[in-house]
Amino acid sequence: MGISHRSGTAALRDHLFVEEAAQPEALAGLKAAGFEQALVLSTCDRTEVQAVHAEPTVAAERIIAILAGRSAVAPAELASQAYRLTDEAALRHIFAVAASLDSLVIGEPQVLGQLKASHRIAREAGLVGGDLEAALQGAYRAAKRVRTETALAQQPVSIAAAAVQLARKVHGDLGRCSGLLIGTGEMGELMADQLAKAGLARLTVAHPSQKRAELTAQRLACHFLGLNGVPPGLEAADIIIGSLGTGKSVVTAPMIRAALKMRRRRPILLLDVAVPGDIEMTVGEIEEAFLYDLDDLERLAMQGRSTRAAAAEEAWGIVDQEVMDFLRKRDERAGVPPLIALRRHFEALRTEVLEATRPGDAEEATRLLVNKLLHDPSEMLRAMAAARRAGGPVEPEAAAQLLCAIFGLTEAECDEMPDDLTNADRKRQKEGE
């Protein structure tokens, strides 16, 4: 349960953001609320709780209360923008998140690392049990298959590479350039990281939340400032990356005209990878301002959007296949404890029979063992038949068919009642009674 770019506003996501250092505190709140298995995943795109709980409605109410209490957001506002998924839908979501199919920029690589970090923190807090561990390991397997079997994971890297090529085309040597990253979206951070690796001399991160800006700056080893520092910071920025996505233009045409005037018409490259965009579209009409949005960068990175769409479709097929495989194996595991208990019961009966018969009398021992094994099923079928005669809903025929199926008997064998029962058969029936 949580809020993502698909369900909630950027402002609400900023309020809900839980930095990595604060996750143990949030997990302590979940533990105090009765959760035995849970983790908190918080990125620029989402803040959600992945948990195992027997009562989903109760769990959802408690998660809303905890997240609202931490962020000073009204529970009703949070609930109105939250998603809640249970059972198979929840598993599919966790697998899709790990495979970066639910990210704002599909295929971005950071979210898998963030999920693994949240997994580690939850494990250290004692909140990862067998069910959650199994689900996460299944999600990691799905993500690995998507990365290795499809072209999806290559797309964000290729988009960032296209941005580096553009930057070099506009500015030449990046070692003389400064960059300004507005927002902390995964695609923007990846692009800034690739530019830094390509030799970008200086980078600054701006965000409405100084804490968010500081955390991203620590990861990228650069400077940071508040959003109010953007207008004066445009003059020094040779490359501007928009990655906030608030729905409002953070960079406007008048700002760029003023910055270019101070820069003596030295060009500015603007890369708007936010959805919705951070940079006013009319900026692209200004001479010496080169504006590219995410679609432009994708077109440069590959031949049309069809490649990415096909890769995404293939990736979803892998996720669905892995979810079905996970559920099948889980159901198979559910049948193991009864089989173990049944084997122990049979072994106890075998020991009892061996102690009750003469050593070496295999005929007597096996006859008694068969009778003892059939005694409980016989009693169960008689009780079910009696209950039906008394007006109960029990169907002994269905139970009998299940017994036959378990022991590999055909329908004809189960339905047949021999006319020529031998004395031994009658004796066994009597002993079974």
Residues serving a catalytic function are 44
> Is residue 303 predicted with pLDDT exceeding 80?
no
Sequence-ordered list of residues with C-beta below 8 angstroms from that of 104, at least 6 positions apart, any chain: 5, 45, 185, 186, 187, 245, 275
Confidence band of 335 (pLDDT split at 50, 70, 90): low
Q: Do 164 and 131 lie in a common domain?
A: no
- CATH number of the domain bearing residue 206: 3.40.50.720
Domain check: are 14 and 113 in the same one?
A: yes
> Are both 161 and 147 inside the same structural domain?
no
- 7 & 140 share domain: yes
Q: pLDDT tens for residues 102-154?
A: 988 788 888 999 999 999 999 999 999 999 999 999 999 999 999 999 988 77
305, exposed or middle or buried, with CB in 10 Å at 0-12, 13-18, 19+?
exposed
User: Looking at the predicted structure, is the pLDDT value of residue 53 above 90?
Assistant: yes
Q: 376 pLDDT band (50/70/90 cuts)?
A: confident
pLDDT at 91 > cutoff 50: yes
**Residue 307 falls inside a structural domain:** no
287-294 own/partner pairs: CB under 8 Å, 24+ apart: 288/260, 289/256, 289/260, 290/166, 290/170, 292/163, 292/166, 294/105, 294/159, 294/187
Tell me what the pLDDT averaged over the chain comes to: 86
What does the pLDDT average to over 279-286? 93
Confidence of residue 401 (pLDDT cuts 50, 70, 90): confident
- Report if residue 365 sits inside a domain: yes
What's the pLDDT tens digit per position in 231-240?
A: 999 999 999 9
Residue 256 contacts residue 250 (beta carbons within 8 Å):
no
What's this model's pTM, rounded to 2 decimal places? 0.70
Amino acid 379: pLDDT = 78
Exposure on the CB side of residue 50, measured as CA atoms within 13 A = 30
Same domain as 128, residue 48: yes
Is there a single domain that holds both residue 211 and residue 277?
yes
Residues 77 and 183 in one domain: no
* Residue 261 pLDDT greater than 60, yes or no: yes
CB hemisphere CA count around 375 (13 angstroms): 14
Q: Is the pLDDT of residue 56 over 90?
A: yes
Query: DSSP character for 234?
Result: G
Distance, C-alpha 429 to centroid of its chain: 56
Q: How many domains does the chain have?
A: 3
278 and 384 inside one domain? no
pLDDT level of residue 254 (50, 70, 90 thresholds): very high
The closest of 111, 106, 78 to 11, measured between CA atoms, is: 78
Confidence tier at 304 by pLDDT (50, 70, 90): very low
10-24, 135-149, 316-330: least confidently modelled range = 10-24
Contact assessment for residue 1 and residue 60, using Cβ atoms and an 8 Å cutoff: yes
229: CB partners within 8 A, 6+ apart: 206
pLDDT at 306: 60
d(CA 285, CA 56): 52
Same domain, 76 and 173: no
Same domain as 195, residue 108: no
Residue 30, SS3? Answer: helix
Would you state the pLDDT for residue 433? 42
53-67, 166-180, 342-356: the lowest-pLDDT one: 342-356
Same domain, 256 and 183: yes
Bigger pLDDT: 317 vs 403: 317
pLDDT for position 211: 85
Query: d(Cα 162, Cα 174) in Å, to the nearest integer?
Result: 14
Core vs surface per residue 224-237: b (16+ CB within 10 A) or e: bbebeebeebbbeb
What range does the domain containing 230 cover?
154-302
- Residue 290 backbone phi and psi in degrees, to 5: -110, 105
Q: Average pLDDT, stretch 321-348?
A: 82
Quick one: 158 and 258 in the same domain?
A: yes
